[in-house]
Amino acid sequence: MSSIQTQFLDLTAHNARYDAIDPNTTLKGSAEGKIVFIAGASKGIGQATAIAFAEAGVKAVYLTARTATALIETLALVQKANPNTQCAYAVCDVTDAAQVEAAVNDCVAKFGAIDVADANAGYLGPWVKIGESDPNGWWRNWEVNVKGSYHVIRFALPHLIKSAEKWAAEGKSGGHLILISSIGAQFVMPGASDYQTSKHAINRLCEFVQSDHDEDGIKCFAVHPGGVATDLGHSMPEHMHEYLVDDPNLAASFAVWLCSSAGDWAKGRYLSANWDVGELGAMESEIVQDDLLVNRLRVRS
């Protein structure tokens, strides 16, 4: 078996929403009473995630992105999906700590809590070799993908901890944190040093969140959302576009599934939205016992 094959689970792959993770059927009502904060919610996967949580009966969704007009469009789609879901938004650049903190505080002021935080904002610049790269452009990937995710983590965590305590007292699960990773985190592809190393860092950051806050009831996941034909996806070289075959509703519904408590056992790990959740769940004992789906140095025994 090649080194690439050993980094992925051999599970049935899905490209679109399916029954086990459908917020309109199987997961209907699973998000009732919860408040969801989404960074990068103006379009694509973030927008689909906001709608999916509304379909699952979430109490409120708080949306952030850099463009007000796009956020207003997402807000309208959320309210169409579920008129009972409250919704608010803030223009916010995740690379600015003060803006993220203000948005988190506004969410709590409006809705009283944050039960789920989704760090969905991302960036992918041109693929060029390191020796030909623009220093500012190279670092921009880290500014958005890692620093931006850190800001969401840092300011949402105190509220997620309170959420975990509250829902645990009711015999339920709260305090969920989703970090958007990428299958690219597991590859070394020429020209992708900025993006792929930033996503590899997201996987380890997820592990650190879990290590630091597992006793607080936090459930953190680093999620590959699939190959989605978003603006970011189309920033990849053209020959890679053939892999952009996944519907944004796949990752959105997978996020709802994770936050329903069904995936709590997989906290602190890298997961792919493409993986069949039934087959994934059947591997729970093996994954936990052998500490799989985490970043580790492979050496000979």
Cross-strand pairs, 284: none
Confirm whether 8 is domain-assigned.
Answer: no
Q: Which long-range contacts (CB under 8 A, 24 or more apart) does 165-173 make?
A: 165/217, 166/113, 167/115, 168/217, 172/261, 173/219, 173/259, 173/260, 173/261, 173/264
Quick one: pLDDT at residue 299? 85
Residue corresponding to tokens 């025994």: 301
User: Which residues are tagged catalytic?
Assistant: 195, 199
What DSSP string describes 198-219?
HHHHHHHHHHHHHHHHGGGT-E
Rounded average pLDDT per 10-residue block, the chain, 301 residues = 56 95 98 98 95 98 96 97 98 98 98 98 91 96 97 98 98 97 90 94 98 98 85 60 80 98 98 97 96 88 73
Token pair listed for 68: 């007000």
How far apart (Å, rounded) are the C-alpha atoms in residues 261 and 7? 25
Quick one: pLDDT at residue 233? 56
Stated pTM of the model: 0.94
Confirm whether 9 is domain-assigned.
Answer: no
Confirm whether 7 is domain-assigned.
Answer: no
Quick one: pLDDT at residue 177? 98
3-state secondary structure (DSSP) of residue 179: strand
Confirm whether 277 is domain-assigned.
Answer: yes
How far apart (Å, rounded) are the C-alpha atoms in residues 259 and 240? 31
Dihedral class, residue 226 (left if φ above 0, else alpha if ψ from -120 to 50, else beta): left
| CATH classification of the domain holding 159 | 3.40.50.720
Q: Which domain holds residue 108?
A: 28-289
How many domains in the chain? Answer: 1
Q: Nearest Cα to 13, choosing from 251, 222, 276, 243?
A: 276
Quick one: pLDDT at residue 245? 75
Quick one: pLDDT at residue 2? 39
